[in-house]
C-alpha cells in the first residue's frame, strides 16, 4: 500500500489538474459564444449565395467562366479542415478518419488526389504518413477572419482555373449543437446545376436579364461564393471545435472530482490502517511490560 505522503501528493496533483480543466472549459465556453454568433450571421448569407449561383449557373453556358467548366475527373482536390490544438475529444480524429476514408476511396478508383490541409492536426497527420500536401495552412484557429478565407479560396481558384485540379471537396466539422458536431463533405467546384424541384427551384431558375453582362457578374460572384463557403466552413469548424473542447474539459473535470473522491477514500483507509498499527504496537508493548 502506498504511503500517506504519496497519496496526498497525488490528490493535490489531481486537484490542480481539475482547476486547469475547469478554467479551460470556461475559456472554451466564452470562445464558443463568440464563434457561434459569427457563424449564425454567415450561415443564411452562405446558403442564399450558394442557392442563387447554383440557379444562375443552370441558365448560362458553362464555358462562360472557368469555375463553371466541367472536365473529366482526373485530379480531385480534398481540403481537410481540422484544429491546431488538441484537448477537444474526437473532434480532429473524426475529420481525419472521414477524410482518409474519402481519399483512399478516390485513390482506389484510380483518381489522383491533391490535398490541402487547414489546421496543424491534419498537417501533422498526413506528414507523418509521408502523404504530400499541395498547401498547408496553420495558425487560423481562434483567429478566423475573412481574409483567411480569401487566401485559401484564391489558391483553390487558381489551381482549378489552371486545370491542375478537376474537382474540389471540403471536409470539415459542421456545428449542430454543443453536444453534436457533424463531419460534412461539401463539393465546392465545379458548381453543379440546380437539381431540386418545386418552389425553391422556381425562385432561382428561369430566364434572367443580366446587367451588367453575364460574364462580368459571374467573374465577380463565383470567386466570392467560394470565399464565402470556405469562410462559413472555417466558422463552423471553429464553433464545433470550441464546443467539443468545452464538453471534453467538462468531462475531464468530472473525472478529476471522481478520482479525488477515490484517492481521499484510499488516503483515509491508509491513515486508519496506520493508526491501527500504531495502537496495536502500543498495546503490544504495554502487554510485554506487564509480563
Residues labelled catalytic: 88
Residue 109 phi/psi, 5-degree rounding, is -85, 0
Contacts of 17 (CB under 8 A, 6+ apart): 252, 256
Amino acid at each position: 500500500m502506498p504511503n500517506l505522503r504519496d497519496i496526498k501528493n497525488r490528490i493535490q496533483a489531481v486537484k490542480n489538474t481539475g482547476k486547469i480543466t475547469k478554467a479551460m472549459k470556461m475559456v472554451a465556453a466564452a470562445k464558443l459564444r463568440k464563434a457561434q454568433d459569427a457563424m449564425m450571421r454567415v450561415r443564411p448569407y452562405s446558403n442564399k449565395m450558394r442557392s442563387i449561383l447554383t440557379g444562375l449557373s443552370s441558365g448560362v453556358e458553362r464555358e462562360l467562366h472557368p469555375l463553371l467548366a466541367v472536365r473529366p475527373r482526373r485530379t480531385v482536390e480534398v481540403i481537410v479542415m481540422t484544429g491546431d490544438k488538441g484537448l477537444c475529444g474526437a473532434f480532429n480524429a473524426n475529420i481525419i478518419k472521414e477524410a482518409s476514408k474519402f481519399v483512399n476511396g478516390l485513390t482506389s478508383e484510380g483518381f489522383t488526389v491533391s490535398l490541402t490541409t487547414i489546421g496543424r492536426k491534419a498537417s501533422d497527420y498526413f506528414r507523418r504518413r509521408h502523404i504530400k500536401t499541395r498547401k498547408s495552412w496553420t495558425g487560423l484557429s481562434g483567429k478566423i477572419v475573412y481574409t483567411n478565407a480569401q487566401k485559401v479560396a484564391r489558391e483553390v481558384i487558381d489551381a482549378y482555373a489552371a486545370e491542375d485540379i478537376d474537382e474540389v471537396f471540403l471536409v470539415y466539422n459542421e456545428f449542430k449543437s454543443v453536444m453534436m458536431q457533424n463531419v460534412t463533405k461539401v463539393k465546392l467546384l465545379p458548381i453543379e446545376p440546380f437539381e431540386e424541384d418545386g418552389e425553391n427551384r422556381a425562385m432561382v431558375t428561369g430566364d434572367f436579364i443580366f446587367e451588367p453582362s453575364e460574364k462580368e457578374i459571374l467573374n465577380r460572384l463565383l470567386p466570392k461564393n467560394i470565399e464565402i463557403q470556405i469562410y462559413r466552413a472555417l466558422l463552423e469548424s471553429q464553433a464545433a471545435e470550441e464546443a467539443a473542447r468545452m464538453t471534453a474539459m467538462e468531462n475531464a473535470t468530472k473525472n478529476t472530482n471522481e478520482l479525488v473522491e477515490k484517492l481521499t477514500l484510499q488516503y483515509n483507509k491508509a491513515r486508519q490502517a496506520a493508526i491501527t498499527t500504531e495502537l496495536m504496537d502500543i498495546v503490544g508493548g504495554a502487554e510485554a511490560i506487564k509480563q
